[in-house]
Structure 1
Amino acid sequence: MMSLVHGRAALSATHSSGHDAPALVTLRDVHLSYGDAAVLRGIDLTVRRNQAVSIIGPSGSGKSTILRCINGLIAPKRGEVRVGGVDVGALKRDDEKIALRKRIGFVFQQYNLFPHLSALQNLTIAPMRVLGASRAEAEHTAHALLAKVQLADKAGAYPGELSGGQQQRVAIARALAMQPELILFDEVTSALDPQTVGEVLNVIGELVDEGLTCVLVTHEMRFAEDISDRVAYTEGGVIVEEGAPEQIFHAPRDEHTRRFLDSTQSRARRTRSSLKLASIPS
């Protein structure tokens, strides 16, 4: 994991990933409710080009809902969401929403691959149908992306023949095939076993090092600390605290943030202990 830290540090020294970079995503006073249940209660968030921003917090705190507001899957009841200058809430026609989603990759917790299509076909279908790429062009790009996520030998494999970590890497490659300006990762390691989590995190870390703008909802605290330019802690539908990763993880200002990080560290220690015990021969 240290290689990710060094890679991100080197990028920051040469790349406009800091506060001077233009904003690609802005959320201002975003509210969302389902019936009487408030999910988002005044979210303000800025993601600048070439930044990696991680959103952390307990389950039900609104993290995934923020991602869905960014790409227009959900419309907030109040507030403004902008992506690259586009007012997401003002998009009413399907063609307008499709144009926005061409610019935004989304990788979900569940892989959502087409089970009847090979890995290669999963990567080529959208570029051919949505971007108008030729089959030869789409397949050339798909092979390059499968190699990028270390699955060059799995082009002909179907999702059912792949491990969970391999399926998630195909899903990442599929998102990249649309050449997005921004990619959203929603708890992409939650459904994976511990042995395959690292495979997926390494791929994401490489994308961040290359300067792809990313917003990540994650429960992998060490990973979030290593790769992020900014970290936002959410609870109860609000961003309780936001800052540089070293500040959030090592000197949190809010008591809610401190309690959450203490609890996640305790769970991580218990998990490591359980894994060690499980590896001891009986």
Structure 2
Amino acid sequence: MRIRLNIEKHLRADKREFHLDLQLQSDAEVTVLFAPSGSGKTLSLLSIAGLLKPERGLIEINGRILFDSQRRIDLPTRLRRIGLVFQDYALFPHLSVSENIAYARRAGWFPHRRGAANLIGDLLDTFALGEFADSYPQQLSGGQRQRVALARALAAQPELLLLDEPFAALDAPLRARMRVELAALRARFDIPMIVITHDPDDIAALGGQVIQLDAGKVVGT
């Protein structure tokens, strides 16, 4: 997976200003953006996913241009083939587990099976969520909600998975377990990931290329 970013975005809120000036390239299957809070990590993911439009620059994934300000290319989110898991998981509280996963479904992730129902069943099994298929997010533990969010992201058949502080909302024992599960998930689905974190333990567990950010810029690799 080759990722190339060269983007700028200036934001103002009240009396505060922030300038994102991000230039990075990675050929790793797992790219970790490591930085303290307020360094522009989440803004970077939102830009890649198409939820935040840079003022200028380029976003290229595996040779496919998602954004190019000079050529006036700005693919909508639904065409970028990117899955995004938010820090708070952003599950729909009025939808059951199976309905949350189905919301993003697109048949074909498992080419040997047919139909969206089979796809959702496979994902429920993969994430050990079968017995919770009719439960609602507020009835689940933190680890279960994270699994639902991951299953929903994978149901859309992304070419790249973006994870925003995936373990931040979990207690220490569950964080350790979910790090192992996420590494196994990446190997099983063979899907590249960009993970943002401020926790060195995440880096040790996930490996890959580490890119350090500070104040909206790359300061180390």
Question: Of Structure 1 and Structure 2, which has the larger fraction of its residues in helix?
Answer: 1
Q: Which residue of 2 aligns with 1:250?
A: none
Instruction: Say if 1:87 and 1:176 are closer, same or farther in 2 by CA, change over 3 A.
Output: closer
TM (normalized to structure 2)? 0.84
Q: What does 1:150-229 correspond to in 2, within 5 Å?
A: 150-210=128-188, 211-229=190-208
Count of paired positions: 208
Question: Of Structure 1 and Structure 2, which has the larger fraction of its residues in strand?
Answer: 2
Aligned mates of 1:117, 1:199 — CA distance in 2: 26
- Shift of the alpha carbon at 1:139? 2.4
Q: Which residue of 2 aligns with 1:37?
A: 17
Larger radius of gyration between Structure 1 and Structure 2: 1
- Shift of the alpha carbon at 1:86? 1.8
- Shift of the alpha carbon at 1:107? 0.3
RMSD, aligned CA: 2.3
Q: RCO (CA 8 Å, sep 6+): is it higher in 1 or 2? A: 2
- Note if contact 1:105-1:178 (Cα within 8 Å) is conserved in structure 2: yes
- Shift of the alpha carbon at 1:76? 1.4
Deviations 1:106-147 (A, max 9, x none): 000012111121111111122269x9xxxx822221221122
Q: Which residue of 2 aligns with 1:237?
A: 216
Q: What does 1:243-254 correspond to in 2, within 5 Å?
A: none
Partner SS for 1:31 = strand
Deviations 1:213-263 (A, max 9, x none): 000001331231232220001111111001xxxxxxxxxxxxxxxxxxxxx
Aligned mates of 1:222, 1:111 — CA distance in 2: 21
Instruction: Say if 1:146 and 1:220 are closer, same or farther in 2 by CA, change over 3 A.
Output: farther
Partner SS for 1:169 = helix
TM (normalized to structure 1)? 0.67
Q: Which residue of 2 aligns with 1:260?
A: none
> Aligned partner of 1:104: which letter?
I
**Percent identity of the aligned residues?**
33
Q: Which residue of 2 aligns with 1:58?
A: 36
Aligned mates of 1:164, 1:228 — CA distance in 2: 24
Deviations 1:159-203 (A, max 9, x none): 111011111110001101111100000012212222322343233
Aligned mates of 1:79, 1:91 — CA distance in 2: 10
- Note if contact 1:169-1:200 (Cα within 8 Å) is conserved in structure 2: no
Aligned mates of 2:95, 2:56 — CA distance in 1: 40
Partner SS for 1:216 = strand
Instruction: Say if 1:144 and 1:198 are closer, same or farther in 2 by CA, change over 3 A.
Output: farther
- 1:87 aligned onto 2:72: no
Q: Which residue of 1 aligns with 2:79?
A: 99
- Note if contact 2:179-2:205 (Cα within 8 Å) is conserved in structure 1: no
> Structure 1, unaligned stretches of length 5 or more?
1-21, 243-282
- Note if contact 2:120-2:155 (Cα within 8 Å) is conserved in structure 1: yes
Counterpart pick for 1:121 among 94, 99, 105: 99
Partner SS for 2:51 = coil
